[in-house]
């Protein structure tokens, strides 16, 4: 049994963002892109992550980008903030994955694909909000949390899945009454992210629609994006296609629009 106390204990262990990250995010929030890039350069691990992430094929840069200030300049304030949040998520990553067949490379690939697709969706919706832009970063965090909570009970989890064919979010909810997206909300609070991000994440579960039309719409797009990416061959092989249950009725009104956008991007 995975108790709520166990989850609270895990969330409590999540370290706060290092000072360099806090300063970088604060400067980005103030729109100080140049100053933010200078602070980011002082964190060598962050600088390395930025270079590896933005040079993935999905970003489409013709030449390798290695300078942090150049990276921030290309990504802009919203993209830079999103990428820093992505880095903060990797600080939670396990040294060795047990439940999912992932490693640092494939996890970073997932982050890059989700981030770039989310950017395309927001452009399609004519939404220019750096906090909404960053909301996608918590979805990979939920994968890390699931891995951490289930790895010690892997036999029980596999038995429950084979017997009832349940998605991981349903299993977690049944075991302790708290779902993956609830945990993401706790992480967003821990990292002092705006409340709106937690609301979008909750709506993206497809199980807790928001009364706010804008947030609910974004939740639908995010739900479809998560299902779309986790259904790609690389992530099916990793076992991520069983991460959540697809709520087709929830997203039916935008499904065709989403499918058309994915075809052209």
Per the structure, the count of domains in the chain is: 1
Residue % of the chain over a pLDDT of 90:
38
How far apart CA 75 and CA 206 sit, in angstroms, is: 30
Beta carbons within 10 angstroms of residue 128's beta carbon:
10
The model carries a pTM of: 0.85
| 205-213: average pLDDT | 91
Query: DSSP labels for 77-117?
Result: HHHHHHHHHHHHHHTT--SS-SSS---HHHHHHHHHHHHHH
**Contact in structure between 47 and 219 (CB atoms under 8 Å):** no
Residue 2 predicted with pLDDT over 80: no
Task: Check pLDDT > 70 for residue 15.
Answer: no
The residue among 202, 205, 262 whose CA lies nearest residue 228 is 262
- Rounded average pLDDT over 202-228: 94
Question: For residue range 223-250, what is the model confidence (pLDDT) as tens digits?
Answer: 999 999 999 999 999 989 888 888 999 9
Extract long-range pairs of 201-209: CB within 8 Å, 24+ residues apart.
201/135, 201/138, 201/139, 204/139, 205/169, 205/179, 205/180, 205/181, 205/244, 206/244, 206/245, 206/246, 206/247, 206/250, 206/251, 207/179, 207/181, 207/247, 208/181, 209/250
Q: Is residue 73 part of a domain?
A: no
Residue 128 lies in a domain: yes
- Gap between the Cα atoms of 81 and 50, Å rounded: 11
Tally of CA atoms within 13 A in the half-sphere of 195 that contains its CB: 0
Q: What is the mean pLDDT of residues 120-143?
A: 91
33, part of any domain:
no
Write b or e for each residue in 213-245: b if 16 or more Cβ atoms lie within 10 A of its Cβ, otherwise e. eebbbbbbbbbbbbbbbbeeeebeebbbbbbbe
Does 32 reside within a domain?
no
Distance from C-alpha of 78 to C-alpha of 133, rounded to nearest angstrom:
6
Specify if 101 maps to a domain: yes
Q: Is residue 217 part of a domain?
A: yes
Q: Residue 105 falls within a domain, yes or no? A: yes
Task: Give the structural domain span for 160.
Answer: 4-16+96-264
What average pLDDT does the segment 47-75 reach?
A: 85
- Paired tokens of 220: 């639908």
- Whether 67 is covered by a domain: the verdict is no
């Amino acid at each position: 049994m995975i108790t709520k106390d166990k989850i609270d204990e895990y969330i409590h262990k999540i370290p706060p963002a290092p000072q360099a990250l806090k300063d970088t995010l604060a400067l980005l929030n103030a729109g100080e892109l140049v100053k933010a890039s200078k602070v980011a350069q002082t964190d060598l691990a962050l600088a390395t992550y930025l270079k590896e992430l933005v040079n993935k094929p999905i970003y489409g840069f013709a030449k390798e980008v290695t300078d942090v200030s150049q990276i921030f300049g290309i990504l802009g304030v919203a993209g830079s903030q999103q990428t820093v949040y992505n880095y903060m998520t990797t600080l939670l990553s396990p040294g060795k994955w047990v439940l999912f067949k992932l490693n640092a490379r494939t996890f970073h690939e997932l982050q890059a694909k989700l981030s770039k697709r989310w950017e395309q969706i927001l452009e399609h919706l004519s939404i220019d909000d750096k906090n909404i832009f960053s909301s996608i970063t918590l979805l990979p965090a939920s994968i890390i949390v699931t891995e951490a909570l289930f790895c010690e009970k892997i036999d029980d989890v596999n038995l429950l899945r084979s017997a009832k064919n349940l998605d991981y979010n349903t299993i977690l909810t049944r075991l302790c009454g708290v779902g993956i997206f609830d945990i993401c909300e706790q992480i967003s609070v821990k990292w002092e992210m705006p409340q709106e991000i937690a609301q979008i994440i909750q709506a993206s579960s497809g199980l807790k629609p928001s009364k706010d039309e804008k947030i609910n719409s974004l939740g639908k797009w995010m739900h479809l994006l998560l299902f779309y990416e986790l259904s790609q061959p690389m992530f099916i092989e990793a076992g991520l296609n069983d991460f959540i249950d697809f709520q087709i009725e929830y997203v039916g009104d935008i499904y065709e629009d989403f499918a058309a956008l994915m075809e052209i991007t």
